[in-house]
Homo-oligomer: A and B are copies of this chain.
Amino acid sequence: MRILIIEDDGQTSAYVSKGLTECGYLVDIASNGKEGLVRAVSEDYDLAIIDRMLPELDGLSIVETLRRANKDTPIIFLSALGGVSDRVKGLRSGGDDYLVKPFAFSELLARVEALLRRPASRAVETNLRVADLEMNLLARQITRCGQTIELQPREFRLLEYLMRHAGQVVTRTMLLENVWDYLFDPQTNVIDVHISRLRQKIDKNFEPALLHTVRGAGYSLRGPD
């Protein structure tokens, strides 16, 4: 379990970090708001502990930004501001819990674990999305721009793999290994054929194209940036 601490007071962050590490969590510390936000957005933490008052960017704004970006990492506020209205503000902004300094580590830990225990934290991803292309793993249904698209099993696997690696370049070797379970090169153009068929279905009739060829390397599924 990975936890991010955003806290400018080195003493507090060291204290919390030490305790959590001892309990087996992987802890990262960001000492200002900007850095914290960047890390929270770009990496996948299971929980974040955020100070409300921070240099560069305050805690409330971080959380609001995160939530707007659809990141629902559980968040515990840590703050010296202990008034009812402060706590309400923190929770309303998208925080999941609010602990007033000074606090007992044991309570923080209990609250961390209460949040991590919520099924949401380990929720299974049932939906993948790249731009307006959506895959519902449960219903095995693909839609682009609201229109549903039918895929064959192999095409489905192919697309799932591409979506799970959206933005990255996916090589033929990766596809052979992970979509076809081949450990060798079949010396044919199977991949090309299926990529082509997939394109017919997900990119033809739509704008813009999402499945791009990376000459000499492989393919890459990505939306417009």
| A residues adjacent to B (C-beta < 8 A) | 72, 74, 84-85, 87-88, 91-92, 94-97, 104, 106-107, 109-111, 113-115, 117-120, 123-124, 126, 137-138, 140
Separation of A113 and B118 alpha carbons in the complex (Å): 15
Interface SS majority for chain A: helix
Chain B residues with CB under 8 Å of A119's CB are: 72, 120, 123
- Other 11 A-B pairs with CB < 8 A, given A72-B118, A94-B117: A74-B118, A88-B104, A91-B111, A92-B113, A95-B114, A96-B114, A96-B115, A97-B97, A118-B118, A119-B123, A123-B123
Chain B: CB-nearest residue to A96: B114
List 25 contacting pairs A-B, 8 Å CB cutoff, sorted by A.
A72-B118, A74-B118, A84-B104, A84-B106, A85-B106, A87-B107, A87-B110, A88-B107, A88-B109, A88-B110, A91-B107, A91-B110, A91-B111, A91-B114, A92-B110, A94-B117, A97-B114, A118-B118, A119-B120, A120-B123, A124-B126, A124-B138, A126-B126, A126-B138, A137-B138
B138 & A118 in contact (Cβ 8 Å cutoff): no
Separation of A198 and B85 alpha carbons in the complex (Å): 58
Chain B residues with CB under 8 Å of A85's CB are: 106
Separation of A160 and B148 alpha carbons in the complex (Å): 23
A113 & B91 in contact (Cβ 8 Å cutoff): yes
Chain B: CB-nearest residue to A86: B107
Chain B residues with CB under 8 Å of A74's CB are: 118
Tell me the number of copies of this protein: 2
Q: A1 CB to closest chain B CB, in angstroms?
A: 16
Separation of A88 and B112 alpha carbons in the complex (Å): 11
Separation of A222 and B104 alpha carbons in the complex (Å): 48
Separation of A120 and B97 alpha carbons in the complex (Å): 15
Chain B residues with CB under 8 Å of A138's CB are: 124, 126, 137-138
Chain B residues with CB under 8 Å of A109's CB are: 88
Separation of A84 and B104 alpha carbons in the complex (Å): 7
Chain B residues with CB under 8 Å of A87's CB are: 107, 110
